[in-house]
Each structure stands twice: as C-alpha cells, then as structure tokens.
Amino acid sequence: MATWILNGLVWNETTGETELKHIRIAEGVIAQIEDAAAGRPDTNGHDTIDANGKLVSAGFIDMHVHLREPGFEYKEDIASGTRSAAAGGFTTIACMPNTRPVTDTAETVRYILDKAASAGIVNVLPYAAITKNELGRELTDFAALKEAGAVGFTDDGVGVQNAQMMKDAMKLAASMNMPVIAHCEDDSLVVGAAVTEGKFAAANGLKGIPNESEAIHVGRDILLAEATGVHYHVCHVSTEQSVRLIRHAKQFGINVTAEVCPHHLILSDEDIPGMDANWKMNPPLRTPRDVQAVIEGLQDGTLDIIVTDHAPHSAEEKAKGMLLAPFGITGFETAFPLLYTRFVRTGRWTLGFLLQRMTSDPARVFGLQSGVLNVGAPADLTIVDLENEREVKPETFASKGKNTPFGGWKLFGWPTATIVNGSLVWSEQ
C-alpha cells in the first residue's frame, strides 16, 4: 500500500531553506513530492503520516557501528541494535567485524545478513575482516567475503601493524574495487593507556595515548593507498595530525576518505569529570586543539562523513572503571540531537550541512543508492522534531548499552519516526 507523508519540512539544497512538502511513497521508493502550498493531495486508498511541520529527511546513514552479534549478544544484538539505530533516525548502518567469531568467513557474513533480514529493522551492511581473526597475520578470502555480501574490509578494533600486510590487502581490495577501512593505531604506543596524552592524564597520573599513535598509521596508509590505488577510508579521526595528513593526501589526488564521530567534535579530555568509564572510548577524547581541528576538517571536506562508532557494553563491564573497562560508548540515539543542538542551533552549521554529512555524503563515499530525498530514491526517511527539547536518559535507550557520557544533557532535534524501504519501522511512543 502507498503512503503519503503530509506537511513535512524538507531541506532545499538549492535555496538553502526548508519548504513544506507532501511526499508519496509507493513500492519502497519515493514516488512523488508536492508543495504543501498546493493543498492536501488525494489520499484515498493510502496510509497517511502527518509530519505536522517536522523535518523530513533522507534516512541517516552510519558507516561505523558495532552490533556485537555474533558472540557478544549480552552487549547488543542485531534486533536491539537496529531498533536503537532506527530510534536515532538511521536507516542504513554498516557493522564492524570484531565479533566472536570474527566476521572473517563467508558463513559469518551470511549469518549477519540473514539475521538482519529476519530480526533487524534497518538496512545492515556487514564489513569483513582484513586478516583472519583480526590477528594481522594472514589475509582473509576477500573474494569469498565480497561474494557473500561484505561491503568493505577492516580490522576495526585493532590496527594492522604490519605495513606489508596492509599493502597486500590494499592491492587485493583495489583489484576488486572494494574499500579498505582502517582503524589507525600503532600498538607500541598505546599499551596500558586509557585516555589521551593531555591534561586529564597528567592530573590523574595516567599513561596517555599520544596523537602520533593514530597519525603514524594514517600517514603510512596514505602512502600505501597512493601506491595501490585503493579506496582508503580512515576510521574515527580524532587528531590534528591525522586531519593534516588527510588534507594533504586529498590535495595530491589520493583516493582517501575519512569519518569523524560526534563525541570527538564536541568533547575534549578536559571535559572528563573523573574516572568514569562512560568517558572511555577509542580513539580517546583528545585535546581542545584536536577538537577544533576535526571540526575544521569536517567543515572544509577533509573529513567526509559523520559516524557514531556505536559501541555498547554492559553496565558491569563499564563499572570496572577507567583503567579496566572496555573502550566505547553508545552513539545511535544521541548523534543527531547532539550535533543539531551544538552546531546548527548555534548558527555554526546550516541544517543542510549536517544532513549532508549524515546522508548523501556517506552514500557518495560508499556508492549507496540511498541518502537522498528525490523521486525514485529508496523510501528510507527520517522524521525529526527540531523544536522539542528533551533530556538524554540512557535508561530509555532501545540499545542494550546505556554507556554514554551525555546522560542528563538537554538537546533538541529528536527523531520521531523512521521509515525503511517504505515501511514505518519505528515511531516515538
């Protein structure tokens, strides 16, 4: 059955303004967009959703998430993770392979896709590991993984330490027109550290994770990408040095793209209130100088897209404290409200800029058909209340993970409904 979304506020990239529209969905695609000023369309025989002046956007795309299944279902599973994604307005997500077993075989890729089809409510794109068991010793079977449905190769969670191994991976991926997505971290510089090398570490007598631990791999991999011609994508950029290297690479025409997370755009190590592991993530919160650098990098296009790095953990794990708890915070359900409140409502960004970095830009970078609100495009849509202020309450998250540093923050821009392939998969209760 076809559906009309009535009275939705749609961003017009040409005029830089929002306009009230009626949108008809049929057979999983956007079939018609009309000016609301022309009056209410004939909706006989159609379902209707009245947006009542709320924003209607192409569904958000998150190309870096952890669904934890298989192996860590107590942290998250595909059902809870995709529901959390939908609650955050995301209609397409790409899940990382650091599961148990590691997503390093065609069978595991197919398991994820089958489980997403049966239990998930948003589009799930699985990444496969670069190396077997993510140990950095032997390449996986790239051809079989691609055939099974993997959309790229990454050892996210650990950096590939051996440069020859990474070069071989890039050569092979390039021959298949597949991207390599890199978690950039030199292990020799990070052992025993939980936070960045900055004021918080110094004040608390902690070993710090230095910026160069990330940037060394970024620089190495840029040179390898230049040599192999692969599409090289840098995960969760957090340092000024990394931004500088990526900017330089793009100026030379190297095929590199990059992502940044909301928490690295908003928080620095100087915001950490104490030894609370809800503030522990990898990469860690960096210095205010780095925060400014990644903001500028996103604004000038050095960093292409926004991702959440949604990384749920159990309360028991996070209760172990800053030194012993696992790295990671949840991200789906706070991402858009955080960025809308911090950057759009303050006038630093336009609404269109934020939407672009969360919709059409990730689609462009990874060759997806979604991410646009045009006639003929997939009917993956998000409805957002830009005017409602609400407090972040982790206990209400759809995710199993409640681990966030943003509890108690008051934010605007909350999703109220999410539509995937033309079907309403989530709506605010």
Give me the residue spans of the domains in the chain: 3-56+378-387+405-427, 59-366
To which H or E segment does residue 294 belong?
A: helix 288-299
pLDDT in the model for residue 397: 98
Q: How far does Cα 372 stand from its chain's mean position?
A: 17
Which residues carry a binding-site annotation?
64, 66-68, 98, 156, 183, 236, 282, 309, 313, 327-328
- Over 80-95, what HEC string results? HHHHHHHHCCEEEEEE
Q: What is the DSSP string of 86-131?
A: HHTTEEEEEE-S-SSS-S-SHHHHHHHHHHHHHH-SSEEEE-B-SB
Give the model's pLDDT for residue 426.
98
Containing 411, the helix (H) or strand (E) segment is strand 410-411
CB proximity list for 418: less than 8 A, separation 6 or greater: 59, 86, 87, 89, 90, 91, 122, 381, 382, 383, 424, 425, 426, 427
DSSP alpha helices (H): ranges in 300-387?
Answer: 315-318, 335-339, 351-358, 360-366
- pLDDT given for residue 1 in this prediction: 67
User: In terms of CATH, what superfamily is 3-56+378-387+405-427?
Assistant: Urease, subunit C, domain 1 (2.30.40.10)
Contact (CB, 8 A) for 179 and 173: yes
Instruction: Pick out the chain residues at pLDDT < 70.
Output: 1
Residue numbers belonging to the annotated binding site for Zn(2+): 64, 66, 156, 183, 236, 309
Q: Which residues are catalytic?
A: 309
CATH dotted code for 59-366? 3.20.20.140
> Left, alpha or beta for 124 (phi > 0: left; psi -120 to 50: alpha)?
beta
List the one residue out of 96, 61, 125 whose CA is nearest residue 332: 61
Annotated binding site for substrate: 66-68, 98, 282, 313, 327-328
Question: What confidence score (pLDDT) does residue 13 get?
Answer: 84
